[in-house]
């Protein structure tokens, strides 16, 4: 994955809110992930270059991600991304398959920021723990984000929105 692609991916995942210097620093961290001493533990897992990129990307994006192992906490963090919060976590989704909640959330996000096409929740994968790690991104940017991620072997996918 080329530096320009890494930088573009980060910019899109951050919804264009990251400053140039911050983007450069994050891109450098992802680009140099395999030599980062803080990621040395990945060697014991026989991690490939894509895994290093995934973990470094998640770390670099820090403030632009929502992270939790509980769906209601993830919901609260997604809500915090907006000046006008989302409705409270719907209790009707307790005990239901998570994709039903994500279908509801997708509808809620689609109507926010309609001037630029709404938002979508994308999951970032690393397989290191049970946490859900996600970014709220602009809906029109999803195809490009997925294209860039695929070209670098980085696992990013839209949440399942099955009815």
pLDDT score, position 12: 97
Residue 163 scores a pLDDT above 70: no
β-bridge mates for residue 124, sequence order? 133, 156
> What would the pLDDT profile of 95-141 be if each residue is shown by its tens digit?
888 889 999 999 999 999 888 899 999 999 867 778 899 999 999 99
pLDDT score, position 162: 62
Q: Which pTM does this prediction carry?
A: 0.91
pLDDT score, position 4: 93
* For range 23-31, the mean pLDDT: 93
Q: pLDDT averaged over the chain? A: 91
The sign of the torsion formed by the CA atoms of 54, 60, 62, 66 equals negative
* For range 9-14, the mean pLDDT: 96
Q: Which long-range contacts (CB under 8 A, 24 or more apart) does 108-111 make?
A: 109/78, 109/136, 109/139, 110/139
Distance CA 27, CA 13 (A): 12
Residue 45 scores a pLDDT above 90: no
pLDDT score, position 96: 85
> What would the pLDDT profile of 63-105 be if each residue is shown by its tens digit?
899 999 999 999 999 999 999 999 999 999 988 888 899 999 9
């Amino acid at each position: 994955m080329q530096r320009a692609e890494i930088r573009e991916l980060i910019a899109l995942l951050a919804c264009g809110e990251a400053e140039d210097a911050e983007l450069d620093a994050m891109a450098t961290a992802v680009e140099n992930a395999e030599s980062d001493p803080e990621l040395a533990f990945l060697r014991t897992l026989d991690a490939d270059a894509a895994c290093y990129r995934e973990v470094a990307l998640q770390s670099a994006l820090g403030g632009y991600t929502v992270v939790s192992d509980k769906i209601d906490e993830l919901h609260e963090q997604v809500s915090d991304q907006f000046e006008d919060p989302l409705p409270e976590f719907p209790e009707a989704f307790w005990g239901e398959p998570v994709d039903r909640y994500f279908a509801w959330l997708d509808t809620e996000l689609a109507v926010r920021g309609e001037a630029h096409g709404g938002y979508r929740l994308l999951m970032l994968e690393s397989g290191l723990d049970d946490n859900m790690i996600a970014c709220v991104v602009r809906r029109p940017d999803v195809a490009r984000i997925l294209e860039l991620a695929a070209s670098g072997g980085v696992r990013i996918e839209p949440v399942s929105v099955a009815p």
